[in-house]
């Protein structure tokens, strides 16, 4: 399997909530949390627009998002994630099983629309954690050829409960988050939902751990378990190691090393095209602000 060494740059204008020692940025699907995990905290409330760009050299991953909270009780969000290998027949001069009937690569460019809502269940206090429940409705435009071959759907719904607590540890503060997600999504939904091999909801665990070095600086890690629905294309769990700096309540600068496994764990060419086996490892820089 090809291992790519990648550098990714993301510039994001999104929501930041810094209240005392609480901090949440916008996760990849558009909701308040860490980079890849939604938290039990809501967004800051003000309307938020975000734009993210990641370039691995072998593909790009970009997103735009809108987000905001109502009465500090309900968070609403929309995001569009775009995965683009940059590989098209006119560039590579290829024909055959790698192409769908329209002459495009099966995974040349895929958009995923994500509509989300999160509802606060409990506020965080000295003894209780913040608790929220949420959903994400997703629709992918990956080709029908791919969906039919894998027996996957083009729409799906994720449901989750997230619990977040900040604890004093010596002179520091420790942020702990645990999320349980029910999902059928293949690679967040980029490759559709469910398959002919596995079409039931899977319960997956996600976590974020952060240590506040001071009121403006957080270091930590995240881990996100993923379902493995498509037998020929093994899906791996995601993780990242991050450093976040909050110069103000309206801005955050985040650098992270991310290990996202493979978009489709097959040898290049094994499934009819060398757009399989793409590795999702990289470094990213994220800058965020709210209105």
pLDDT digits (tens, 9 = 90+) for 120-153: 999 999 999 999 999 999 999 999 999 999 999 9
Number of other residues whose CB lies within 10 A of the CB of residue 76: 16
Q: Look at residue 6 and tell me if it is in a domain.
A: no
Q: Look at residue 3 and tell me if it is in a domain.
A: no
Distance, CA of 140 to CA of 155 (rounded, Å): 6
Contact 135, 117 (CB under 8 A): yes
Question: For the segment 199-247, what is each residue's pLDDT rounded down to a tens digit?
Answer: 999 999 999 999 999 989 999 999 999 999 998 888 889 889 999 888 8
Band of residue 27 on the pLDDT scale cut at 50, 70, 90: confident
Residue 93 token pair: 């001069």
Q: Which residues pair with 234 in a beta bridge?
A: 265
Cβ neighbours of residue 125 under 8 Å, at least 6 residues apart?
none
The more confidently predicted of residues 290 and 31 is 31
Q: Look at residue 1 and tell me if it is in a domain.
A: no
- Per DSSP, which regions of 154-269 are E strands? 155-169, 172-183, 202-214, 217-224, 238-248, 251-262
Number of other residues whose CB lies within 10 A of the CB of residue 96: 7
Q: What is the pLDDT of residue 218?
A: 93
Q: Report CA 102 to chain centroid distance, whole Å.
A: 29
Q: Look at residue 12 and tell me if it is in a domain.
A: no
Q: What is the mean pLDDT of residues 18-29?
A: 64
Distance, CA of 233 to CA of 256 (rounded, Å): 26
Q: Look at residue 243 and tell me if it is in a domain.
A: yes
Band of residue 34 on the pLDDT scale cut at 50, 70, 90: confident
Q: Look at residue 4 and tell me if it is in a domain.
A: no
Number of domains in the chain: 1
Question: For the segment 43-92, what is each residue's pLDDT rounded down to a tens digit?
Answer: 877 787 777 777 766 677 788 888 889 999 999 999 999 888 777 655 55
Kindly state the percentage of the chain with pLDDT values over 90: 46
CATH of the domain at 210: 2.40.160
Band of residue 11 on the pLDDT scale cut at 50, 70, 90: very low
Residue-wise burial string across 12-44, b where 16 or more C-beta atoms lie within 10 A, e elsewhere: bbbbbbbeebbbbbbbbbbbbbbbbbbbbbbbb
Helices (H), the chain: 89-92, 144-150
> What average pLDDT is seen over the chain?
81
Q: Which residues pair with 259 in a beta bridge?
A: 239, 281
Residue 178 token pair: 């645990």
Q: Look at residue 9 and tell me if it is in a domain.
A: no
Q: What is the pLDDT of residue 88?
A: 63
In the chain, % helix, strand, coil (3-state, to 5) comes to: 5, 55, 40
Q: Look at residue 290 and tell me if it is in a domain.
A: no
What totals of helices (H) and strands (E) does the chain contain, helices first?
2, 15
Domain span including residue 51: 17-282
Distance, CA of 183 to CA of 194 (rounded, Å): 9
């Amino acid at each position: 399997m090809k291992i790519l060494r990648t550098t990714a740059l993301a510039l994001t204008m999104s929501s930041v909530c810094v209240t005392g020692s609480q901090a949440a940025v916008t996760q990849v699907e558009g909701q308040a949390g860490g980079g890849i995990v939604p938290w039990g905290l809501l967004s800051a409330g003000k309307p938020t627009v975000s734009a993210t760009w990641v370039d691995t050299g072998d593909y790009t991953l970009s997103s735009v998002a809108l987000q905001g909270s109502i009465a500090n009780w309900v968070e609403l969000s929309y995001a569009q994630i775009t995965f683009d290998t940059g590989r098209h027949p006119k560039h590579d001069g290829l024909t055959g099983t790698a192409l769908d009937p329209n002459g495009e690569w099966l995974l040349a460019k895929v958009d995923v629309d994500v509509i989300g809502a999160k509802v606060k269940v409990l506020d965080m206090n000295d003894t209780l954690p913040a608790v929220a429940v949420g959903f994400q409705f997703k629709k992918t435009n990956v080709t029908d050829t791919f969906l039919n071959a894998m027996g996957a759907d083009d729409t799906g719904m994720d449901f989750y409960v997230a619990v977040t607590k900040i604890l004093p540890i010596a002179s520091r503060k420790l942020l702990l988050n645990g999320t349980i997600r029910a999902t059928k999504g293949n690679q967040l939904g980029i490759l559709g939902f469910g398959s002919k091999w596995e079409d039931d909801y899977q319960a997956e665990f996600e976590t974020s751990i952060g240590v506040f070095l001071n009121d403006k600086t957080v270091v930590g890690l995240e881990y996100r378990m993923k379902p493995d629905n498509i037998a020929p294309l093994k899906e791996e769990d995601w993780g990242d190691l991050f450093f976040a700096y909050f110069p103000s309540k309206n801005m955050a600068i985040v650098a992270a090393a991310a290990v996202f496994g493979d978009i489709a764990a097959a040898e290049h060419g094994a499934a009819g095209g060398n757009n399989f086996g793409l590795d999702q490892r990289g470094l990213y820089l994220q800058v965020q602000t709210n209105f």
